[in-house]
Structure 1
Amino acid sequence: MSSLMSFTTPTSSPPKPLSTTRLSLLTPTRPSSLTRHHSLNRSLCRLSVCCSYAEANTKENLTSLPIDVVADVKPERIVVLGGTGFVGSAICKAAVLKGIEVVSLSRSGRPSSYSDPWIDQVTWIPGDVFYANWDEVLLGSTAVVSTLGGFGSDEQMKKINGEANILAVGAAKDFGVPKFILISVHDYNLPSFLLTNGYFAGKRNAESEVLSKYTNTGVVLRPGFIYGKRKVGSYEIPLDIIGGPLERFLNAAQNFTRPLSSLPGSDLLLAPPISVDDVAFAVINAVTDDDFFGVFTIDQIKEAATKVRV
């Protein structure tokens, strides 16, 4: 003999949630393979709530009410090209201090001239941009920061300032990295024919590549003379002894020097120097602020740096 069970539903009032809820947390996962076009850009954590129902007049435990929470979590992982250099090392340090994961690609790999604790928190990859294993370097990155540049013959400057950066921009774009930040150079109000040499021409070609491939996320910083404590081998050159006072003097004298700014080449003398820390913190602002893109002058770099300084 089989038994029958029947259920009735109360008609006096609509069902109401039980005091018990089931919470499920969806958390981002880290890519497990070297898959192109799947860089770790933005992860969204959602706290979802499922409720069951009971009959009317059931007493409710008010301490277990449903919760609706949406948290936006954006883990950052940047790749710094030339991270062992003067500007590159300052960017790596600032990023580590802000809790950003950092990978550095440079010919020398891990720098031997630094002993600071932040050094151990950077992944140092030795290699040349022209022969880099981009799958290894760019995996999971949310931004690439290039400090590549240098002096030499006209041909050498076009290669390191221009071609190397253009190659890196293309690799980052093909891999799906969402943002590219280029450290370029102030034009010093020079006549156009002087901007055709290898140094400036290479930098401007690289800028064009960044702004064309990263229309709404590309960043070009144009600092002038950058000062700070620059390490060359085992020696430290205190560029801040000159740069700091000169920056303060030129900023104070802007009302008097502004009429001269229209003269060709005037910024060779009148463009204020900028601290390497200001450049580094402006980069951090560019990494973390999705509305930060385009070309930035010396004053704009300083303004951006103040937003993220401790």
Structure 2
Amino acid sequence: MKNILVFGGNGFLGRRICQTAVEKGYQVTSLSRSGAPPRVKATWEKEWIDKVKWQQCDILNPKSYTQYLRDADNVVHSIGILLEDSSYKAQVNGKLAFDVKKLLQWGPNPMKNNPNFTYEVMNKQSAVMLAQEFAKVKHSNDSVSKTMTYISADKSFPGIPSGYMESKRAAEVEIMRLEQELRPILVRPGFMFDESDTSLGTLNFRSQVKNMLDLANWSNKNFLGRRIECVNQLFRPTVSTQQVSRALIQKIEDPSFEGVLSLENIINS
């Protein structure tokens, strides 16, 4: 049975990768710090959540997950940080009215003294370490092409430190160096939202940012005709976690594909 191992499978994007893989007939295992399944947003989600094996590991300690790599055909690294402050995720994913002051005031940071909560460690080192460990694994069936997927990013966002994109691109370079041992897939989504949130009319922070970006893109297309390149680069299309997940599984199943899966390719998949 085809299988997939998702690191960070209970996260914002990771949960949808797990869901899509289950729906496509994969045996799915999620590894995360807590080992717990994601919160059920709707009763129908319980069906696919119950089909995933939810396991615990420390992404920075290979000994905690090497046992799972031995039988894995496909590995996905869906762990990373946008800011070097863990409390921002609660703000972004919470149901908050849009308020610039709230955006900038992230609140208490339970990991502010954790030296590992940095772009270098979380976005780069954890991914490169995982890829290197996976590359070492020898399968009994050598005809199976192992895929290593890294969730990178299309562009940075205004106000986000340069270290964010630098760590993403640096990780991509290191993973591509292992292409003789595995098939690398580098996914570059833009600003992501969840379709279930928008369908329910949820007014959380992500939904509001999506609406603003969609309006900016509509204006750029209809009033500026996308003729100003700097504006085109600033206002990139939004993409749903479901779109990203479907495009990712599609590329995993295409043995001829490796390298960068761009935002445009994700949208057009």
Distance 1:161 1:253, change over 3 A: same
Report what 2:148 is aligned to: 180
Report whether the alignment pairs 1:213 with 2:139: no
Distance 1:196 1:86, change over 3 A: closer
Report whether the alignment pairs 1:148 with 2:79: yes
Q: How far 1:260 sits from its partner (Å)?
A: 1.5
One-letter amino acid matched to 1:299: E
* Separation (CA, whole Å) in 1 of partners of 2:190 and 2:135: 28
Report what 1:294 is aligned to: 259
CA RMSD of aligned residues (A): 3.1
Q: How far 1:254 sits from its partner (Å)?
A: 3.7
Q: How far 1:277 sits from its partner (Å)?
A: 0.6
Does the 8 Å contact 1:83/1:104 carry over to 2? yes
4+ aligned runs moved over 3 Å, structure 1: 194-197, 235-242, 244-249, 251-257
Q: How far 1:195 sits from its partner (Å)?
A: 9.5
* Separation (CA, whole Å) in 2 of partners of 1:102 and 1:246: 33
2:127 to 161, 165, 168: 165
Q: TM-score, normalised by structure 1?
A: 0.63
Report what 2:191 is aligned to: 225
Q: How far 1:209 sits from its partner (Å)?
A: 1.6
Does the 8 Å contact 2:32/2:58 carry over to 1? yes
Report what 1:198 is aligned to: 163
* Separation (CA, whole Å) in 2 of partners of 1:77 and 1:107: 21
One-letter amino acid matched to 1:144: V
Over the matched positions of the two proteins, sequence identity in percent amounts to 27
Judging by fraction of residues, say which structure has more strand: 1
Answer 1 or 2: higher relative contact order, Cα 8 Å, separation at least 6. Answer: 2
Report whether the alignment pairs 1:243 with 2:174: no
* Separation (CA, whole Å) in 1 of partners of 2:51 and 2:68: 16
Does the 8 Å contact 1:162/1:201 carry over to 2? no
Q: TM-score, normalised by structure 2?
A: 0.71
Report whether the alignment pairs 1:258 with 2:189: no
Q: How far 1:241 sits from its partner (Å)?
A: 5.8
Aligned length: 220
Does the 8 Å contact 2:73/2:146 carry over to 1? yes
* Separation (CA, whole Å) in 1 of partners of 2:154 and 2:38: 31
* Separation (CA, whole Å) in 1 of partners of 2:208 and 2:161: 32
* Separation (CA, whole Å) in 2 of partners of 1:172 and 1:299: 29
Q: How far 1:296 sits from its partner (Å)?
A: 2.1
One-letter amino acid matched to 2:126: A
Does the 8 Å contact 1:162/1:202 carry over to 2? yes
* Separation (CA, whole Å) in 2 of partners of 1:247 and 1:145: 28
Report whether the alignment pairs 1:88 with 2:19: no
Report what 1:47 is aligned to: none
Moved more, 107-116 or 158-167: 107-116
Does the 8 Å contact 1:285/1:292 carry over to 2? no
For structure 2, the 5+ residue unaligned runs are: 86-114, 139-144
Report what 2:248 is aligned to: 283
Distance 1:245 1:200, change over 3 A: closer
* Separation (CA, whole Å) in 1 of partners of 2:210 and 2:157: 20
One-letter amino acid matched to 2:61: Y
Report what 1:56 is aligned to: none
* Separation (CA, whole Å) in 2 of partners of 1:112 and 1:186: 26
Largest Rg, 1 or 2: 1
Distance 1:195 1:201, change over 3 A: farther
Report what 1:19 is aligned to: none
Moved more, 251-260 or 90-99: 251-260
| Secondary structure in 1 matching 2:10 | coil
Distance 1:272 1:172, change over 3 A: same
